[in-house]
């Protein structure tokens, strides 16, 4: 059984339990639930760097990336560096994250925040809004077309933007619909964890121009971004490359300054 299937099995159980403890109505009372959200799409369109910087403590492929810094420190550093948005891992078991990390980031920055999570239920969209998210991630590999349609429409009705992640042409085909804002191509194969930027380059021409194109995973150099820009990519999600340094914000700042205008 591959890691993705295992994560989804656990996520189904986790969401079922959370629904019993915190019903939807509970999250709808959150002070953050009715706030106006920030648009990541607009920031990516008007930015030269297109950097979405991630907060990630660990991953299934790497036991510890950086557990020593608070989310406050990381969020402030990223905001100072001038990134377009911040991705916050909220899965505890496999990535060491939490919804509280999202709220902590929201408290100290005005960056568009992406809830990076394995979303399988509309309940998780309400959770995301209640904890200060502006954008949610949907992963085509674990959802069918009807689920993508339903979840993306619900997200937009809550004022959340949708980043849809694909790994191949088949996933992309089932995901093309008006309720998606950004199309993300994950260069990491979630079954084998191998990484190749060719995935983004191959799929680029198949993504309609209606969507902002985002390349995810395996981006660790300025040259990688320069090689992807001619393919129409305006967003670049970078996680481990910043987080593995003692000061992710400073590392992001140096990285962005190296990008050609």
Please state the separation of Cα 232 from the chain's center in Å: 19
Provide the whole-model pTM. 0.95
Phi, psi dihedral angles at 214 (to 5 degrees): -125, 130
The mean pLDDT of the chain is: 94
Give CA torsion, residues 222, 57, 101, 73, to 10 deg: -60
Closest to 181 in 3D by CA, of 229, 214, 145: 214
- Mean predicted confidence (pLDDT) in 196-212: 96
56-65 pLDDT, tens per residue?
A: 887 776 677 7
Count of residues making up the chain:
261
Whether 166 contacts 183, CB under 8 Å: yes
Tell me what pLDDT residue 62 has: 67
Where do the structural domains in the chain lie, given as residue ranges? 3-258
End-to-end CA distance of the chain: 45
Checking if the pLDDT of 192 tops 90, the result is no
CATH number belonging to domain 3-258: 3.20.20.70
Which 3 state secondary structure label does DSSP give 73? Answer: helix
- Residues near 41 by beta carbon (within 8 Å), at least 6 away in sequence: 161, 181, 182, 212
pLDDT tens digits, 101-158:
999 999 999 999 999 999 999 999 999 999 999 999 999 999 999 999 999 999 999 9
Q: How many Cβ atoms from other residues are within 10 Å of residue 110's Cβ? A: 8
How far apart are the C-alpha atoms of 57 and 76, rounded to whole Å?
Answer: 16
Q: Report the alpha-carbon distance of residue 255 to residue 135 in Å, rounded.
A: 24
Q: How far apart are CA 173 and CA 191, in angstroms?
A: 20
């Amino acid at each position: 059984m591959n890691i993705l299937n295992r994560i989804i099995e656990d996520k189904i159980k986790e969401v079922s339990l959370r629904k019993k403890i915190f019903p939807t109505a509970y999250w709808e009372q959150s002070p953050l639930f009715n706030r106006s959200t920030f648009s990541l799409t607009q920031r990516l369109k008007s930015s030269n760097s297109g950097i979405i910087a991630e907060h990630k403590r660990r991953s299934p492929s790497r036991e510890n990336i950086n557990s020593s810094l608070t989310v406050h420190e990381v969020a402030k550093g990223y905001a100072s560096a001038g990134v377009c948005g911040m991705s916050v891992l909220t899965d505890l078991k496999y990535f060491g994250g939490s919804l509280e990390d999202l709220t902590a980031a929201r408290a100290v920055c005005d960056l568009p925040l992406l809830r990076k999570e394995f979303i399988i239920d509309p309940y998780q969209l309400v959770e995301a809004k209640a904890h200060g998210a502006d954008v949610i991630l949907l992963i085509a590999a674990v959802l069918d077309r009807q689920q993508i349609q339903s979840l993306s429409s619900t997200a937009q009705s809550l004022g959340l933007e949708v980043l849809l992640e694909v790994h191949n042409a088949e996933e992309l085909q089932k995901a093309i619909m008006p309720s998606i804002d950004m199309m993300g191509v994950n260069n990491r194969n979630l079954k084998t964890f191998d990484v190749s930027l060719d995935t983004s380059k191959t799929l680029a021409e198949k993504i309609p121009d209606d969507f902002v194109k985002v390349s995810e995973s395996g981006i660790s150099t300025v040259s990688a971004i320069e090689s992807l820009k001619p393919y129409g990519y305006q967003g670049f999600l970078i996680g481990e490359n910043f987080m593995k340094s003692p000061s992710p914000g400073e590392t992001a700042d140096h990285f962005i300054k190296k990008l050609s205008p």
